[in-house]
Structure 1
């Protein structure tokens, strides 16, 4: 960002042409940049040092407080040794003179991108995490937190348990909750692999979240990750409160997702509460997150979605518990949409019954356990009669164990199909909603952050989802929509060029003219004149 509009626009245009996938934002003052920084995470910031209202060094302090992993590139038009000296004290800061030219700046941005990618790949975080040995106390904490997720907690008992187990939370304050779901490669889908990977993700996330919050991550009984988070007390860090902590978590979970992908080859999706919850209502909050994770738009890969926990009570159908451990894991795969893992465990469980290794009573018990899991899933999610009605509980309807278990597997396959169709349908609905919003608000701020706020998804996930559904980048779609509106108004209205530019989202007439010429190869006035001549010719004919 820069206080000189022409320089800012020029940098934006040049960087947008780089062969690097960047989501970019412009700001013309330190205060405007600060508004962006408070809305979403930034990995690289370009800033002038000398600006009105807030200079670059003051902005640097805010960035360092909110996004410690952000890379900062300072630009200035003169040699300012004192400012340069202050800037370079912080790792990740570069200092360039504007006179050094665009090539130097492009090199600096490229180097910053490489550093970010290297930090995500590095095994240093994992190595430090491994040094934190898992103790009996850690296991006890995990068991207790799982108890809180199912039973809740309040009063003196929770304070006493926190104290005895050295849990670093204030039992009087509410807590933020987030749910993480892992997608593993086919070769790493065993129970042991999943538990080991979940533990690595937990430890890696602890290293990110611990810098700004009191956080605790555990693996729940479904093999998913749950994080509980409170802001640090004001005595330990600049007080930020729960609202700002939510923004911090959204940004950090995106970094954690990237680190998981680079360091562990694991994809992580996160569903988190958009506001704090009391300890006694933790089970409802947890269940509501599980429900929203189930009803996500698209496949959820590397998604961060936020859920308004206070808008409605958690749906009672989520308060479901399955007793048998292995059948419970089968159910967890069904709930999590993990088709391959479900089929693998299903075959493992049913093989002895099908080949006759088990006596009939044991095979019957297994059959009814799985049938009950499918029936329960169907009862809770089959609101529109989408799943096969089936006769799950009628064992004698099939002559052999192979046909009996085959019918259950077929029913499960249909359930997975319906779920994936629902994810696809919700993805289309979300993208259609964004397109309608763009059309209705074409003259307004259409930044990725604002559009993501409209459907409560993180910006990077919306960007991927939109391109997946429409085949073009969201920014390209917005440009095309603005271009189409501008052409229509140039053809069919007598409005001034500047007024038309404002009506499609360009406050400065020269910016609109420059972009329009890039789109069409001619200025807006030339386009209007040419369109007018075509209209006259058409009328004569």
Structure 2
């Protein structure tokens, strides 16, 4: 087969009712273009038989043949192989007939009396067009893949905001985001929350390996869960995976009682599915995984509270061990237990202060950090020496430190000195003093490490860049500005972003501008020139050209539609 400029292979079929012409063309192309895979037919019907058995890229055909003429053959070729290039050879200088053939989808035509060089040149032109079409198709395929990768990153980022309580949870906001990010969940229905934890990494210490393993856990669980539920998943805190689940409604009886029975049956089925997921994770990727699932579906706005509860269970005393499987303590309307009340009281008084430690770590406030850490441990130890309080403080501090380590990674030697594995494996037998000493030592190491910051994790960089772009569209979002925010070389940031997000940085900026413009056009009364400035265009005309190039209509036409 012919090798085009892009290394593609092509077949050509020569069709004529005169064998002397067919044999002559076969001989000529065999010598001049030996890379072409050549086929021959002595009638349109023979040609159709060949076209039915294999894909033909180029057809070189007589335009007038007995039984079925070239134009009829052209229609059949285009029906079977729309991209095939049909070149007509004719002994008749019949302009109207040839014009009809070309308007029907023919690629080109020539007289049989033309030179071999002219015929080869026309075939070369057809090959060049096939190359161009193949290249365009490949670009479209790559663009679709990159878009899917970008959507996946954005989905995960949005799930993070839902779990952390920073997302807007009005019905209109949820509906808009879920539609925009192609999340297969219904806003009007509550959510079951499932958390998974890697119990042991099995020697897979590199961050890239761990991300791959977390992705594998998502896939294994997804294969089982999609049988009975729609879901969206996200990696959380480096060693957990969260799933938002909605059971697929069964056909049959309706009503509140029937629905409750159906959901109870689904929850029981999901528990059995998790047994299979644990077994598959153990056998396929060599990892032990523990799970905890909410006892009942929760409202979207209650996801942060459900997440906190499940996380406390998973990393608490009940979650100790390997391949644990738990169910949340409470449903959305159950009375709060004494244990939960104690947790809430501690959270309101201590967790805000624990969160402030992250601010001091980020901004180099070592003295303030040390003072606040001492205060937190002194008060917690004096107030309540129960294991629950210890777990709560441990979990809060571990979250702060893990978040910081993700942003400013330690090298392997330093990480080994402090024992970072303690952050993900809580030891309730440690004394308050031992915990205090551990976190003080870890803080000293982190402050020292921040003096020469390491490169951020690539996915964190992308998420930080995306968040900045989305909230600063009207400001400077140039490559130089964005590189300064994450302390990277502009050229390196450009390569890193495209490699990690799957799309170019400028493509994401344009996408963010387009989505913001569409939202403002549909849901605000701002004038076009005001929206233009709000999404980063100084010129209203530039904005209109940009919008029409992407949407096919002007901003005003889009607003009016």
Q: If the TM-score is normalised by the length of the shorter chain, which range does it land in? A: 0.3 to 0.5
Question: What TM-score, normalized by structure 1, do the two folds share?
Answer: 0.38
Compute the TM-score of the two structures, normalised by the length of structure 2. 0.36
Structure having the higher Rg: 2
